[in-house]
Chains A and B, each alone.
Chain A
C-alpha cells in the first residue's frame, strides 16, 4: 500500500468532496460535512510524513494506467514537489479550521468546492505530465472562481468575473505553448521535454518561451499581468484569501521553475526575468502604500513578494533558487497569517477600512500574531522572512540596480505594515464605549493564527531544519552543481542593514500620514484599470517581449 500513496494523496480530498456532496443532498445541516472535510484534509498530511522516509532514497515516480514511463502520465515527487505539497497540507488544514466559525453560508456546498480546490492543488504539485498540469490547473482555478463569490456580494462578483476572463486567457496561452512543444518534441512528459528542448531551433524557442511567460505572468501576477489579483483576493472570504494568496498564486511560480529548468538556450534570459521581478516588487509596494482597505493592502503585498521570488529564481544560482523556493514556503505561512488576522479584525469590527478600527488592546492574540507576521514579511532577524530575503538579496549582488530596487521595496513594506498597525491597533480614549465591545475572536479562529505564528518563529530560529533536508537539494536538482555553501545568518552587518531599513520605513510612514491628499489622487490614478485596459497592456507587453528576444538572439 505504501507504493500507491501518491495516488491516494490525490484521491482522498476528491472522495471526501463526493461524500460531502452526497450528504448535502439528503441533510441540510453542516455538521457531518465538517467532519468529512476534517478527515479529508488531515489525511494527506500523514501520507506526506510517510512519504518523506521514502523520499531519501530518491525521486518517487508512479505511472498511472499501466503504461510505461515516457508514454504514461506519471506522478513525480521530488524535493520541490514534496515541499510545496507539505506546505499546502498545512495551510489548507489550518484555513479549514478557521472557516468553521467564520463562514456562515446557507447552502451546503462551500466545503464541496473547498475540497475540490484542495485536490486540484495537490494534483498540480504532484504531476509530471504537462497536459495533466493544465487539467489540474483548470480544476483549481474554476473552483476558486466559485469560492470567491462567497465573499461580499457585489464586489466579489465583479472581481470573480474579471479573474475568470483573465485566467482563461492564461490557460489559452499555456495551451498554445504546450501545442508547439508537442509538435517539435513528440512527447508530453516534463522530464523528457527538459532533456530534449535544446534540439529545437531558436526562433521556435522564442515563441514558446514568450507564450509560457504570458501564461505564467498572468497566473503568478507579475506586473504587467497583475490586474486581476487585488480585487479577487480582497473580496474573497478570509480563509479562501489565505489559500489563494498562499498557494494558488505560487502554482504559477512552480510551473515557472519547472519550465525555466527545461533548459531554454536563449541569451539574456536571466536579466529579463530579474527586471520583471524587480518592477513587480516595487510596483506592488507602491500600490499598497496608497490604499486604506486592509485586505487590498495585503493583496498588493502578495504581488510585491512574488516579485522577490521571481528575482531570486531569475538569478539562476544555487543560493538564488534556494532563496526563492524558501521564500515561497515562508510567504505561504506569513501571508496566510496576515489574511487570517485581517479576517479576525473584520469579523469583530465589521468594516474593512483601517481608519475605522479602534481596537487598542481589546484583541491581544490578534495583536501579537499580527506583529509577528508584519515583522516576518519585513525581514527582521529572528523570523523566517529574514532568511529567505537575505538569501535572495545576496544572490543579486552583481546587479546593483536590482539590489537597490529590492531595498526600496523592503522600505515600503515596513512603512505599509506600520501604517496598518498605527491605524488599526491604536486606542483612542475618546471612543471608550465602542472599544469595549470588541472581544477576542472565538477559539477555533485563534488556533490557526497561533499555529502559524509558531511556525514563523520556528522556521526563523532553526532554518537548517528545512534548508538542508528539503530546499537545498530541491534547488540543486534544478541547477546542476551542488556547492554546500554555508549561509551565515545572524551576522551583525545584516542586522545593522535591517535596522537602517526599518528607520527609513518609519520616516516614509510619517511622510504618508502628513501628505494624505496627494495619496488619494495617486489612488484614483491607479484604480483606472478596468478589464479592457489591462488586457490591452498584457498583449502589448507580450509583443514587446517577443521583439526583444528576437533582437537579442
Chain B
C-alpha cells in the first residue's frame, strides 16, 4: 500500500491543492516545487524491480533496477531548479513593484 507510486500521487495532489487555494505568492512557488518532487518520485519508483540492487556496474551483479528513469530525473531536477529560481526572481520583482505578496490584491 505504501509504495513510491502512491506517495508520489499524494504529493502531486497536495501540490495541486496548494496552487489552487493559496494567496501568498511564495507559497504558490513552494507548491510548484512539491509537485516537481512528486513527479521525480513517480519516475524513480516506476523503474523498481523486486530484489535488485542499485545500478552500479560491479562485476558479478546481474539484477539491477532500471537506470534510465534515474538519468531522466537528473535532467528534470536541474530544470525544476531553474524554474524555481526564475519564479522566485519574478516574485521579488513583483514585491518591488506592487508592495504586497498577496495575489488577490495585485490586480
Residues on the B chain within 8 Å of A154, using CB: 97-98
CA distance A531 to B105 in the complex (A): 12
* Cβ-neighbour of A183 out of B28, B46, B90, B104 (below 8 A): B46
B72 at the interface (CB under 8 A from A): yes
Q: Mark B65-94, 1 if CB is under 8 A from A, else 0.
A: 000110010011001001100110011011
CA distance A532 to B87 in the complex (A): 17
CA distance A135 to B72 in the complex (A): 10
* Cβ-neighbour of A176 out of B39, B47, B86 (below 8 A): B39
Q: Are A131 and B21 in contact (CB under 8 A)?
A: no
Residues on the A chain within 8 Å of B43, using CB: 175, 179
Within 8 A of B (CB), among A267-288: none
Q: Are B97 and A530 in contact (CB under 8 A)?
A: no
In terms of DSSP, what is the predominant structure of the interface of chain A? Answer: helix
CA distance A153 to B35 in the complex (A): 30
CA distance A461 to B85 in the complex (A): 49
* Cβ-neighbour of A168 out of B20, B69, B83 (below 8 A): B83
Minimum CB distance partner of B32 in chain A: A168
Q: Are B20 and A142 in contact (CB under 8 A)?
A: no
Within 8 A of B (CB), among A486-534: 530-532
Within 8 A of B (CB), among A150-187: 153-154, 157-158, 160-161, 164-165, 168-169, 172, 175-176, 179, 182-183
Q: Mark A529-546, 1 if CB is under 8 A from B, else 0.
A: 011100110010000000
Contact (A172, B86) CB under 8 Å given A153-B97, A154-B98, A530-B107? no
Contact (A142, B86) CB under 8 Å given A157-B94, A530-B104? yes
B53 at the interface (CB under 8 A from A): no
Q: Are A158 and B94 in contact (CB under 8 A)?
A: yes
A49 at the interface (CB under 8 A from B): no
B106 at the interface (CB under 8 A from A): yes
Minimum CB distance partner of B80 in chain A: A168
Size bracket of the A interface: 20 to 34
B19 at the interface (CB under 8 A from A): yes
Q: Are B107 and A169 in contact (CB under 8 A)?
A: no
Residues on the A chain within 8 Å of B91, using CB: 161
In the complex, how many angstroms separate the beta carbon of B106 from the nearest chain A beta carbon?
A: 6
Q: Are A165 and B28 in contact (CB under 8 A)?
A: yes
Minimum CB distance partner of A141 in chain B: B83
* Cβ-neighbour of A138 out of B21, B22, B79 (below 8 A): B79
Contact (A530, B103) CB under 8 Å given A142-B82, A153-B97, A161-B94? yes
CA distance A149 to B86 in the complex (A): 12
Residues on the B chain within 8 Å of A530, using CB: 103-104, 107
Q: Are B72 and A164 in contact (CB under 8 A)?
A: no
Minimum CB distance partner of B36 in chain A: A172
Q: Mark A327-357, 1 if CB is under 8 A from B, else 0.
A: 0000000000000000000000000000000
Contact (A535, B20) CB under 8 Å given A164-B87, A176-B39, A176-B42? yes
In the complex, how many angstroms separate the beta carbon of B53 from the nearest chain A beta carbon?
A: 20
Name 10 A/B residue pairs within 8 A (Cβ), A-sorted.
A135-B79, A149-B90, A153-B97, A158-B94, A161-B91, A164-B90, A172-B12, A172-B35, A182-B46, A536-B20
Q: Closest 9 A-B residue pairs measured CB to CB?
A: A183-B46, A138-B79, A179-B43, A161-B90, A536-B20, A175-B39, A535-B20, A172-B39, A532-B20
